[in-house]
Protein backbone atom coordinates (compact mmCIF):
# COMPACT_ATOMS: atom_id res chain seq x y z
CA UNK A 1 0.00 0.00 0.00
CA UNK A 2 2.81 2.42 0.98
CA UNK A 3 4.68 1.72 -2.25
CA UNK A 4 1.50 2.41 -4.26
CA UNK A 5 1.11 5.75 -2.47
CA UNK A 6 4.81 6.58 -3.11
CA UNK A 7 4.35 5.73 -6.79
CA UNK A 8 1.20 7.89 -7.06
CA UNK A 9 3.10 10.77 -5.42
CA UNK A 10 5.81 10.46 -8.06
CA UNK A 11 3.43 10.28 -11.04
CA UNK A 12 0.74 12.85 -10.19
CA UNK A 13 1.04 16.46 -8.97
CA UNK A 14 0.20 16.97 -5.27
CA UNK A 15 -2.88 19.23 -5.75
CA UNK A 16 -4.44 16.52 -7.95
CA UNK A 17 -3.77 13.86 -5.28
CA UNK A 18 -5.26 16.04 -2.53
CA UNK A 19 -8.45 16.47 -4.60
CA UNK A 20 -8.45 12.73 -5.29
CA UNK A 21 -8.14 11.83 -1.58
CA UNK A 22 -10.99 14.21 -0.70
CA UNK A 23 -13.15 12.55 -3.37
CA UNK A 24 -12.25 9.06 -2.09
CA UNK A 25 -13.09 10.16 1.47
CA UNK A 26 -16.49 11.39 0.33
CA UNK A 27 -17.19 8.07 -1.39
CA UNK A 28 -16.10 6.14 1.74
CA UNK A 29 -18.27 8.42 3.91
CA UNK A 30 -21.31 7.52 1.77
CA UNK A 31 -20.64 3.79 2.33
CA UNK A 32 -20.35 4.33 6.07
CA UNK A 33 -23.53 6.34 6.36
CA UNK A 34 -25.44 5.52 9.56
CA UNK A 35 -26.01 6.80 13.08
CA UNK A 36 -23.94 4.69 15.45
CA UNK A 37 -20.93 6.97 15.85
CA UNK A 38 -20.72 10.75 15.65
CA UNK A 39 -17.83 13.15 15.09
CA UNK A 40 -18.25 16.34 17.15
CA UNK A 41 -15.59 18.09 15.01
CA UNK A 42 -17.44 17.90 11.64
CA UNK A 43 -20.87 16.75 12.81
CA UNK A 44 -20.66 13.61 10.63
CA UNK A 45 -22.71 10.56 11.68
CA UNK A 46 -21.68 7.09 10.51
CA UNK A 47 -22.22 3.38 10.90
CA UNK A 48 -18.61 3.28 12.15
CA UNK A 49 -15.33 5.16 11.78
CA UNK A 50 -12.39 3.92 9.69
CA UNK A 51 -9.46 1.90 11.07
CA UNK A 52 -6.12 3.68 11.64
CA UNK A 53 -2.57 3.09 12.90
CA UNK A 54 1.04 3.01 11.68
CA UNK A 55 2.00 -0.33 13.21
CA UNK A 56 0.34 -3.55 14.37
CA UNK A 57 0.65 -2.33 17.97
CA UNK A 58 -1.04 1.04 17.36
CA UNK A 59 -3.47 -0.10 14.62
CA UNK A 60 -7.10 -0.13 15.69
CA UNK A 61 -10.62 -0.26 14.27
CA UNK A 62 -13.37 2.32 14.30
CA UNK A 63 -11.39 5.49 15.09
CA UNK A 64 -10.76 7.74 12.02
CA UNK A 65 -13.60 10.04 10.92
CA UNK A 66 -14.03 9.53 7.15
CA UNK A 67 -15.23 13.10 6.66
CA UNK A 68 -12.71 15.28 8.55
CA UNK A 69 -10.05 12.68 9.52
CA UNK A 70 -10.36 13.31 13.27
CA UNK A 71 -9.05 10.62 15.64
CA UNK A 72 -10.15 9.88 19.22
CA UNK A 73 -7.79 12.44 20.74
CA UNK A 74 -8.92 15.19 18.33
CA UNK A 75 -12.56 14.63 19.24
CA UNK A 76 -11.64 14.75 22.93
CA UNK A 77 -9.82 18.09 22.52
CA UNK A 78 -12.68 19.55 20.50
CA UNK A 79 -15.19 18.58 23.21
CA UNK A 80 -12.94 20.01 25.94
CA UNK A 81 -12.60 23.33 24.12
CA UNK A 82 -16.33 23.42 23.47
CA UNK A 83 -17.50 22.47 26.97
CA UNK A 84 -14.78 23.79 29.28
CA UNK A 85 -13.41 26.94 27.62
CA UNK A 86 -14.57 30.05 25.74
CA UNK A 87 -12.54 29.10 22.66
CA UNK A 88 -15.53 29.22 20.30
CA UNK A 89 -17.06 32.47 21.59
CA UNK A 90 -14.46 34.90 22.95
CA UNK A 91 -12.13 37.02 20.79
CA UNK A 92 -8.80 35.21 21.14
CA UNK A 93 -5.37 35.37 19.59
CA UNK A 94 -4.39 31.77 18.81
CA UNK A 95 -1.13 30.10 17.76
CA UNK A 96 -1.63 26.58 16.41
CA UNK A 97 1.66 24.70 16.03
CA UNK A 98 1.82 21.60 13.78
CA UNK A 99 -1.84 22.18 12.84
CA UNK A 100 -3.93 19.03 12.55
CA UNK A 101 -5.81 18.63 9.27
CA UNK A 102 -9.17 18.13 11.00
CA UNK A 103 -8.88 21.46 12.90
CA UNK A 104 -6.92 23.70 10.59
CA UNK A 105 -9.65 25.04 8.28
CA UNK A 106 -12.30 25.10 10.99
CA UNK A 107 -10.19 27.21 13.37
CA UNK A 108 -9.14 29.53 10.56
CA UNK A 109 -12.79 30.16 9.62
CA UNK A 110 -13.91 31.07 13.16
CA UNK A 111 -14.52 34.81 13.18
CA UNK A 112 -13.76 35.18 16.92
CA UNK A 113 -10.20 33.87 16.46
CA UNK A 114 -7.15 35.81 15.33
CA UNK A 115 -5.50 32.62 14.09
CA UNK A 116 -1.85 31.91 13.19
CA UNK A 117 -0.49 28.49 12.29
CA UNK A 118 3.15 27.53 12.73
CA UNK A 119 5.35 24.58 11.85
CA UNK A 120 8.97 23.67 11.21
CA UNK A 121 8.36 23.25 7.48
CA UNK A 122 4.73 22.42 6.58
CA UNK A 123 3.64 24.45 3.51
CA UNK A 124 0.20 25.06 5.05
CA UNK A 125 1.70 26.92 8.04
CA UNK A 126 1.75 30.73 8.17
CA UNK A 127 5.08 30.92 10.03
CA UNK A 128 8.00 28.48 10.05
CA UNK A 129 10.08 27.99 13.19
CA UNK A 130 11.58 25.57 15.66
CA UNK A 131 9.43 25.26 18.79
CA UNK A 132 12.63 25.58 20.89
CA UNK A 133 13.00 29.12 19.55
CA UNK A 134 9.62 30.70 18.79
CA UNK A 135 9.82 34.02 16.90
CA UNK A 136 7.12 35.88 18.86
CA UNK A 137 7.32 38.33 21.74
CA UNK A 138 6.39 37.26 25.23
CA UNK A 139 2.71 37.50 26.29
CA UNK A 140 1.43 37.44 22.66
CA UNK A 141 -1.21 34.67 22.53
CA UNK A 142 -4.37 33.85 24.51
CA UNK A 143 -4.23 30.23 23.36
CA UNK A 144 -1.41 28.00 22.12
CA UNK A 145 -2.14 24.54 20.71
CA UNK A 146 0.83 22.27 20.09
CA UNK A 147 -0.10 18.58 20.07
CA UNK A 148 2.19 15.61 19.45
CA UNK A 149 5.28 17.77 18.94
CA UNK A 150 7.25 17.69 22.22
CA UNK A 151 8.12 13.98 21.86
CA UNK A 152 10.11 14.92 18.71
CA UNK A 153 12.06 17.82 20.23
CA UNK A 154 15.61 17.55 21.65
CA UNK A 155 15.02 19.89 24.56
CA UNK A 156 11.40 19.74 25.60
CA UNK A 157 12.25 21.95 28.60
CA UNK A 158 13.36 24.72 26.23
CA UNK A 159 10.26 24.23 24.04
CA UNK A 160 7.92 24.31 27.06
CA UNK A 161 9.54 27.49 28.38
CA UNK A 162 9.13 29.08 24.93
CA UNK A 163 5.45 28.04 24.79
CA UNK A 164 4.98 29.53 28.26
CA UNK A 165 6.81 32.75 27.35
CA UNK A 166 4.62 33.61 24.32
CA UNK A 167 1.38 32.92 26.20
CA UNK A 168 -0.44 35.88 27.76
CA UNK A 169 -1.17 35.79 31.51
CA UNK A 170 -4.52 33.99 31.94
CA UNK A 171 -3.97 32.29 28.58
CA UNK A 172 -3.95 28.53 28.17
CA UNK A 173 -2.02 25.93 26.18
CA UNK A 174 -3.06 22.49 24.96
CA UNK A 175 0.10 20.38 24.65
CA UNK A 176 -0.96 16.74 24.32
CA UNK A 177 1.73 14.07 23.82
CA UNK A 178 1.81 10.30 23.34
CA UNK A 179 2.24 8.76 26.75
CA UNK A 180 2.73 5.49 28.61
CA UNK A 181 0.19 5.98 31.38
CA UNK A 182 1.51 2.84 33.12
CA UNK A 183 4.95 4.36 33.61
CA UNK A 184 5.44 6.99 36.32
CA UNK A 185 8.61 8.24 34.61
CA UNK A 186 9.44 9.57 31.13
CA UNK A 187 11.85 7.33 29.23
CA UNK A 188 14.57 9.14 27.29
CA UNK A 189 18.20 8.67 26.43
CA UNK A 190 19.94 11.15 24.09
CA UNK A 191 22.49 8.48 23.14
CA UNK A 192 19.71 6.46 21.41
CA UNK A 193 19.71 7.77 17.83
CA UNK A 194 19.04 4.61 15.80
CA UNK A 195 15.54 4.95 14.27
CA UNK A 196 14.71 1.27 14.91
CA UNK A 197 15.76 1.54 18.53
CA UNK A 198 13.75 4.75 18.92
CA UNK A 199 10.73 2.99 17.45
CA UNK A 200 11.20 0.08 19.89
CA UNK A 201 11.66 2.31 22.94
CA UNK A 202 9.54 5.35 22.11
CA UNK A 203 6.95 3.92 19.65
CA UNK A 204 8.03 5.87 16.54
CA UNK A 205 11.35 6.22 14.74
CA UNK A 206 11.39 10.01 15.06
CA UNK A 207 10.44 10.18 18.75
CA UNK A 208 13.21 11.07 21.21
CA UNK A 209 11.30 10.08 24.37
CA UNK A 210 8.19 8.38 25.65
CA UNK A 211 6.44 10.45 28.31
CA UNK A 212 5.26 8.92 31.56
CA UNK A 213 3.04 10.30 34.30
CA UNK A 214 5.73 12.85 35.26
CA UNK A 215 4.76 14.86 32.15
CA UNK A 216 2.80 17.29 34.33
CA UNK A 217 5.93 17.87 36.50
CA UNK A 218 7.79 18.97 33.37
CA UNK A 219 5.00 21.37 32.39
CA UNK A 220 4.94 22.78 35.92
CA UNK A 221 8.72 23.24 35.86
CA UNK A 222 8.22 25.49 32.81
CA UNK A 223 5.75 27.61 34.80
CA UNK A 224 2.37 26.21 33.78
CA UNK A 225 -0.44 25.64 36.23
CA UNK A 226 -1.59 22.20 35.09
CA UNK A 227 -5.04 20.71 35.38
CA UNK A 228 -4.89 17.03 34.43
CA UNK A 229 -8.07 15.02 33.93
CA UNK A 230 -9.34 11.83 32.37
CA UNK A 231 -11.83 13.94 30.49
CA UNK A 232 -13.31 11.05 28.47
CA UNK A 233 -14.60 9.60 31.73
CA UNK A 234 -16.71 12.68 32.38
CA UNK A 235 -19.03 11.50 29.57
CA UNK A 236 -21.59 8.73 29.93
CA UNK A 237 -20.45 5.35 28.61
CA UNK A 238 -22.95 5.72 25.80
CA UNK A 239 -21.69 9.17 24.76
CA UNK A 240 -18.02 8.16 24.99
CA UNK A 241 -18.73 5.14 22.77
CA UNK A 242 -20.68 7.26 20.29
CA UNK A 243 -17.81 9.77 19.94
CA UNK A 244 -15.22 6.94 20.23
CA UNK A 245 -13.20 8.86 22.85
CA UNK A 246 -9.75 7.73 24.11
CA UNK A 247 -10.64 6.31 27.54
CA UNK A 248 -7.04 6.20 28.85
CA UNK A 249 -5.90 9.59 27.61
CA UNK A 250 -4.99 12.15 30.26
CA UNK A 251 -5.97 15.63 29.11
CA UNK A 252 -3.75 18.51 30.29
CA UNK A 253 -5.12 22.04 30.51
CA UNK A 254 -2.13 24.33 31.04
CA UNK A 255 -2.53 27.89 32.20
CA UNK A 256 -0.24 30.86 32.66
CA UNK A 257 -1.54 32.56 35.79
Q: Least distance to Zn ion from the beta carbon of 74, Å?
A: 8
Burial class (CB in 10 A: 0-12, 13-18, 19+), 6: exposed
Whichever of 67 and 218 has its CB closer to Zn ion, that residue is: 67
d(CA 174, CA 73): 12
Q: Least distance to Zn ion from the beta carbon of 67, Å?
A: 5
Contact partners, residue 176, CB within 8 Å, separation at least 6: 73, 77, 147, 148, 249, 251, 252
d(CA 112, CA 106): 12
Spacing of C-alpha 86 from chain mean position: 19
Q: Least distance to Zn ion from the beta carbon of 75, Å?
A: 8
Whichever of 70 and 147 has its CB closer to Zn ion, that residue is: 70
Q: Least distance to Zn ion from the beta carbon of 205, Å?
A: 28
Whichever of 46 and 141 has its CB closer to Zn ion, that residue is: 46
Q: Least distance to Zn ion from the beta carbon of 241, Å?
A: 16
Angle at 187 between CA 181 and CA 189, to 5 degrees: 165
Whichever of 65 and 160 has its CB closer to Zn ion, that residue is: 65
Whichever of 43 and 169 has its CB closer to Zn ion, that residue is: 43
State the pairing for strand pair 209-210/50-52: unpaired
3-state helix, strand, coil in the chain (%, to 5): 35, 25, 40
Q: Least distance to Zn ion from the beta carbon of 104, Å?
A: 13
Nearest to 235 by CA among 84, 113, 44: 84
Angle at 99 between CA 95 and CA 104, to 5 degrees: 95
Whichever of 52 and 136 has its CB closer to Zn ion, that residue is: 52
**Contact positions toward Zn ion, by CB under 5 A?**
39, 41-42, 44, 65, 67-68, 70
Amino acid sequence: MKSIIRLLLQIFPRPFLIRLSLLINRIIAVFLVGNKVECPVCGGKFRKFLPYGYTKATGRDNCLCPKCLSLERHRLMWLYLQNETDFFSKNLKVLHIAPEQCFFKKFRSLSNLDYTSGDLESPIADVHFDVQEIPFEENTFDVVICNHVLEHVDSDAKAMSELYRILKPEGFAILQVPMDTENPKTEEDPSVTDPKERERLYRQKDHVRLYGLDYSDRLQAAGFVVKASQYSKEFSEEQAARYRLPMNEIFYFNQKI
